[in-house]
Amino acid sequence: MMGRDMQPFSVVEDRGFRELLNELDPRYKLPHRTTFSRTIVPDLYNTTKQKIMDKMQADAPVSIAMTSDIWTSRAAVPYISFTAHYLTSDFNKVNFLLDVETFREDHTANNILEKWDHVFEDYNIDCSKIKLYAVTDNASNYRAALGRVNQLVTGISCFAHSLQLAVRDTISNCPDLSASLKSGQQIVSAFNYSSKRYEVLRKHQRQVGLTETKLVQSVDTRWNSEYLMEESILKNKQAITLALLELKIDGRTSGDWEYAESYVKVMEPFFQITNLVGGEKYCSISTVIPMLYTIQCKLDKFKRSDSAILSEIATVAEAQLSKRFPELLRNSDIHKAATLLDPRFKNLLTATTQDSAALLFNRIFGESNNSVQHIESENSSSEDDDDDLWGPLSALSASQRSTEDSESHSPLLLELKSYFQEMVIKRTDD
């Protein structure tokens, strides 16, 4: 329970827990909490750590992707964590949480680098023999730390984190939108922090046929927080309006409501994509370029809307997206390679199978190729389905042109070309 469910050591002193164990086996003598904290749990940690090290040594991965983050607990204690991800020789995905430790020192690049070095040394990870990738947030101290070892570790910014920073920047660069969201927070607080007001809201929810539920409160540190809040407010708009009238509380202006509705429309693909790339059981780097393309297409459509407010938010969001993803919008090599290796998206970057094979071949051998095409939002002229996240991708060519190249004799290049000539699988498949 302590290791799996994060229960405190004091759980062994809880009356109910002791009575349960006594009911199961009156002969069992439960160890004291200090025995757990000083002996049992440390031994369990060491045993588990050794199993992880043995597993990693047996698997002998050729590359490892590390994810790391720094955060502060509710008790105001800073922590840093490290997780390793890799594929086994039979293509099974493996991930291990290698370390979580307090980080009370200044969060400078040097101190972060020391933490990384400690993990590598602790788990016998030889940076000179294993290709390492590091996915972190966009904090300058993390970027500086990785920059000092970039000859050994390839740093990759967390796509979801960058996406959410673009969302935050969109809000801060739209004063009227920011004011509208603030009014939404006030509405939620008015009902969620007063039992009397909440009962009035529940009454009107029943009256208009809605499920009785609390409104979602936005939290600054939680991704998609404002989107989920506004979505819940709009869903309960009629009940909220009636409740505010009964309570004689000033409600939103028509302009505020329009900003809220436009914000939810623009941010829906951001919300969907953040959830998609945040999965733990599948690789998501291959979806980054297609997802950026999807967002660009949808923003371009919103910019052409008859609604001035919808167009305004979409224009600002597009500018912030370009600011946060200057390299990815030009298609970085590592993301291009990942996209080409995904059977769902392998035909998006180039016009022909030969171009795709050559691009991936050059990426494998570290050569550059600037002759291939890049996907651009203006390539799509058809109207996509607003509810279909993959709609804009369907506007691209369903398959590449098959080309013959009599000069290509490399077995690897021919094998890659054969892969690109196979049919693309459904976008929704994993």
pLDDT in tens, 64-100: 999 999 989 888 999 999 999 999 999 899 999 999 9
For the entire predicted model, the pTM comes to 0.81
Which letter, b or e, does each residue of 249-286 get, where b requires 16 or more Cβ atoms within 10 Å of its Cβ?
A: eebbeeebbbbbbbbbbbbbbbbebbeebeeeeebbbb
Please, which residues have CB within 8 angstroms of residue 40's CB and are 6 or more apart in sequence?
Answer: 31
* CA-CA-CA-CA dihedral for 342, 348, 352, 358, to nearest 10: -50
Q: At CA 82, angle to CA 53 and CA 128, rounded to 5? A: 65
303-321 pLDDT tens trace: 999 999 999 999 999 999 9
Chain centroid to CA 100: 20
Confidence of residue 216 (pLDDT cuts 50, 70, 90): very high
Beta-bridge partner residues of 78: 72
Q: What is the C-alpha separation between 331 and 337, in angstroms, rounded?
A: 10
Q: What is the C-alpha separation between 119 and 167, in angstroms, rounded?
A: 33
Q: What is the C-alpha separation between 7 and 412, in angstroms, rounded?
A: 53
15 vs 3, 11, 32, CA distance in Å? 20, 9, 13
φ/ψ of 216, rounded to 5, equals -80, 130
247-294 pLDDT tens trace: 999 889 999 999 999 999 999 999 999 988 877 777 888 889 888 888
